[in-house]
Chains A and B, each alone.
Chain A
Amino acid sequence: MKPLSQTPGQPNVDALEKVAARLRGQVIEMSHLAKSAHLGSSLSCCDIIAAAYWRVLRIDPADPKAANRDRFILSKGHAATALYAALAFKGFFDPALLDTYARDGSALAEHPPANLLPGVEAATGSLGHGLPLGVGMALAARLSGADFRVFALLSDGENNEGSVWEAAMFAAAQKLTNLCVIVDYNKWQATARSDETLQLSPLRDKWESFGWDAHEIDGHDVSALAFRMESVPNGSGRPVALIAHTIKGKGVSFMEDDNNWHYRAPTADEVRLARAELGLA
């Protein structure tokens, strides 16, 4: 078995931020071409995905099924464009495939498919599924004596689902220290403020009281994200929950914290403006 390791040395903040900007440029382009929804949700988690794929995860794009790889589950499957962009840029598949996103016959559907694309660990789209799947994978690691870790990225609206809390209690009872949840806490769900829909706050306290080592962090601070994620398992003896405070539509001034971008796709002019703001050519 080939040893896999995370990127050595200190995180290069500037490089990670450039990756995140490049991911943002790509998901904006894909949303525009496909006229697809969920752009705000994808922009929200680009820093988390950049820190995970460019810093934390022990993965080998040439061997996407390596038994000892870390697993990253995009439980908020509606942010598929961000995952596709990351996987393509990392070399799991040809970046030219990104241009086929959401087109007839493409493997790049609007939610990540099962058993079609290298690097996609779980087919998601229905919320509340990624964490139980990840719990099973983390349990498998423990049973087999493997040291891989499982990361599941959840949306804040996803915390509405009871299955999330079923999984949270099981993971705590089993002390799955190789399991890490990141909640992309952008304070919006599809049609309303998340806290006004089903009260989430105090979200960190909720996860903590469910038996997790829970931390609030800035979900756009790649350095803090990398530090918290790469320290899993962190010696607490508990699974780790990162409540990542984010801004929906992050990176583009006219999209930030505007929930219309949950469904809207940008025009060509808006793409140009957005790319300029992101410092992309």
Chain B
Amino acid sequence: MRNAFADELKQLGDSDPRLVFLSGDIGNRLFDKFRAAHGDRFFNCGVAEQNMMGLAAGLALTGYRPIAYTITPFVTTRCLEQIRTDVCYHEAPVVIVGVGSGLSYAGLGPTHHSCEDIALLRALPGLAVVCPCDAFETRAAMRAALRADHPTYLRLGKKGEPKIHAEIPADFSIGRALTVREGGDVCLLATGTILPEALHAADALTGAGLSAQVVSFHSVKPLDTERLRHAFAQFRLVATIEEHSVVGGFGSAVAEWLVDNAVSPRAFLRFGTPDAFFKLAGEQEFARAQLGLTGEQIALRIKERLSAA
């Protein structure tokens, strides 16, 4: 995903002279191609994220299209007020990119986890919150974000995530969810790089005689409400799956929508990280397993819920 981001960045830089790339002292060698081609539009802003975000807004207010990039907690919660006041309040079309979102960098500890960013950023007026599930969606989301005239937050993983799509989805647009697997009984709405676990869950459910639709719900804001209406009308059970806290994230956004629209779900489950820091050593797969976020664990909870109903 990271490599696709860097490659797409170079291509977008070729075609859009307004694009300026801001790095928070990260991505050693990753952006060499962009730097070689567009060295005048590459700035290492150092370990100073407040200034990076503020100057990104200043650039955007002066006709440029900055992309501000570093590890997710540092480009989101570290400089939250700059995102709120400089970027969103001014409606400055900055693209904020967090790499290593959720538990991607689980082994680096909670300082490098980001399980609160969606909650905080989706509360900001005018900011689109987009969590691509794979490298192809990352490219599509970057193109869409640069076309938009408002700020966008892109929540990326790390590298080596499985490819979900076969190519860049031609029908990608921010705020419109994409079906990645058809099914009839259960609907799994996944956002971001945890989507492969939803596919594993669908496999496991098949063994129990349940067919599961899997949806890449890449945009947490704006929500694809048409898709939600359809899902809750059509399926016996709907589940949201995210590598983010159950407090305030994607599942919360869907729950808010349910209440506000007086939709009574037949069965609705929210999968996410608990309201706690994950302090133990270990990589992403270990953390997911500890927190009940593997495909098998998701499928088990869904089966329990349906048999209890």
Report A's interface with B, CB cutoff 8 A. Answer: 67, 114-115, 122-123, 126, 128-129, 131-141, 143-144, 162-163, 166-167, 169-170, 173-174
- The stretch of B61-69, B174-182, B187-195 that contacts the partner chain: B61-69
B273 at the interface (CB under 8 A from A): no
Q: Is the CB of A67 within 8 A of B50?
A: no
Q: Is the CB of B91 within 8 A of A115?
A: yes
Please tell me which one of the listed residues A136, A144, A166, A173 contacts residue B50 in the complex, with CB atoms under 8 A apart.
Answer: A166
A residues within 8 A CB of B62?
A: 136-137, 140-141, 144
- Digitize B45-57: 1 where CB-to-A-CB distance is under 8 Å, 0 elsewhere: 1101011011111
Closest chain A CB from B85 CB (angstroms): 6
Please tell me which one of the listed residues B55, B60, B64 contacts residue A135 in the complex, with CB atoms under 8 A apart.
Answer: B55
- Digitize B117-132: 1 where CB-to-A-CB distance is under 8 Å, 0 elsewhere: 0000000000000000
B residues within 8 A CB of A115?
A: 90-91
Q: Is the CB of B63 within 8 A of A67?
A: yes
Q: Which residue of A lies closest to B90 (CB)?
A: A114
| Of listed B43, B81, B89, residue having the most chain A CB within 10 A | B89
Please tell me which one of the listed residues A129, A136, A138, A162 contacts residue B56 in the complex, with CB atoms under 8 A apart.
Answer: A136
B residues within 8 A CB of A140?
A: 58-59, 62-64
Q: Which 7 A-B pairs have the closest CB atoms?
A: A136-B58, A132-B54, A140-B62, A136-B55, A166-B51, A166-B48, A163-B50
Q: Is the CB of B85 within 8 A of A137?
A: no
Closest chain A CB from B21 CB (angstroms): 12
Range for the number of chain B residues in contact with chain A: 20 to 34
B41 at the interface (CB under 8 A from A): yes
Q: Which residue of A lies closest to B81 (CB)?
A: A126
B137 at the interface (CB under 8 A from A): no
The dominant DSSP class at the A interface is helix
Please tell me which one of the listed residues A137, A143, A163 contacts residue B51 in the complex, with CB atoms under 8 A apart.
Answer: A163
Q: Is the CB of A132 within 8 A of B40?
A: no
A residues within 8 A CB of B43?
A: 139, 174
Q: Is the CB of A133 within 8 A of B54?
A: yes
Q: How far is the CA of A134 from the CA of B89 in the complex (A)?
A: 16
A residues within 8 A CB of B59?
A: 136-137, 139-140
Q: How far is the CA of A140 from the CA of B60 in the complex (A)?
A: 9
Please tell me which one of the listed residues A138, A144, A163, A167 contacts residue B63 in the complex, with CB atoms under 8 A apart.
Answer: A144
A residues within 8 A CB of B89?
A: 114, 123
Closest chain A CB from B133 CB (angstroms): 32
Please tell me which one of the listed residues A123, A134, A169 contacts residue B48 in the complex, with CB atoms under 8 A apart.
Answer: A169
A residues within 8 A CB of B51?
A: 132, 135, 163, 166-167, 170
A residues within 8 A CB of B197?
A: none
Which chain B residues (69-100) contact chain A, with CB distance < 8 Å? 81-82, 85-86, 89-91
Please tell me which one of the listed residues B45, B54, B64, B91 contacts residue A114 in the complex, with CB atoms under 8 A apart.
Answer: B91
B20 at the interface (CB under 8 A from A): yes
Q: Is the CB of A132 within 8 A of B50?
A: yes
B residues within 8 A CB of A67?
A: 63
A residues within 8 A CB of B86?
A: 129, 132-133
List 14 A–B pairs whose Cβ atoms lie within 8 Å, in order of A's numbering: A123-B85, A132-B57, A135-B51, A135-B55, A136-B56, A136-B60, A139-B58, A141-B62, A166-B48, A166-B51, A167-B48, A167-B51, A173-B46, A174-B43
Q: Which residue of B lies closest to A73 (CB)?
A: B58
Given contacts A115-B90, A128-B50, A169-B48, are A136 and B61 in contact (CB under 8 A)?
yes
Q: How far is the CA of A108 from the CA of B139 in the complex (A)?
A: 42
B residues within 8 A CB of A123?
A: 85, 89-90
Closest chain A CB from B237 CB (angstroms): 44
A residues within 8 A CB of B85?
A: 123, 126, 129
Q: How far is the CA of A139 from the CA of B81 in the complex (A)?
A: 22
Please tell me which one of the listed residues A136, A144, A166, A169 contacts residue B57 in the complex, with CB atoms under 8 A apart.
Answer: A136
Q: Is the CB of A167 within 8 A of B41?
A: no
A residues within 8 A CB of B90?
A: 114-115, 122-123
Q: How far is the CA of A122 from the CA of B45 in the complex (A)?
A: 21
Q: How far is the CA of A162 from the CA of B54 in the complex (A)?
A: 13
Q: Is the CB of B82 within 8 A of A163?
A: yes
Please tell me which one of the listed residues A143, A167, A169, A173 contacts residue B54 in the complex, with CB atoms under 8 A apart.
Answer: A167
Q: Is the CB of A143 within 8 A of B20?
A: yes
Q: How far is the CA of A170 from the CA of B43 in the complex (A)?
A: 10
B residues within 8 A CB of A137?
A: 58-59, 61-62
B residues within 8 A CB of A126?
A: 81, 85
B residues within 8 A CB of A141?
A: 62
Q: How far is the CA of A87 from the CA of B290 in the complex (A)?
A: 60
Q: How far is the CA of A167 from the CA of B52 in the complex (A)?
A: 8
Closest chain A CB from B295 CB (angstroms): 43
Question: Besides the contacts A123-B85, A140-B63, what 19 more A-B pairs have beta carbons closer than 8 Å?
Answer: A114-B89, A123-B90, A132-B58, A133-B55, A136-B54, A136-B55, A137-B58, A137-B59, A137-B62, A139-B55, A139-B59, A140-B58, A141-B62, A143-B64, A163-B54, A166-B48, A167-B48, A167-B51, A170-B46
A residues within 8 A CB of B61?
A: 122, 133, 136-137
Q: How far is the CA of A162 from the CA of B46 in the complex (A)?
A: 14
Q: Which residue of A lies closest to B45 (CB)?
A: A170
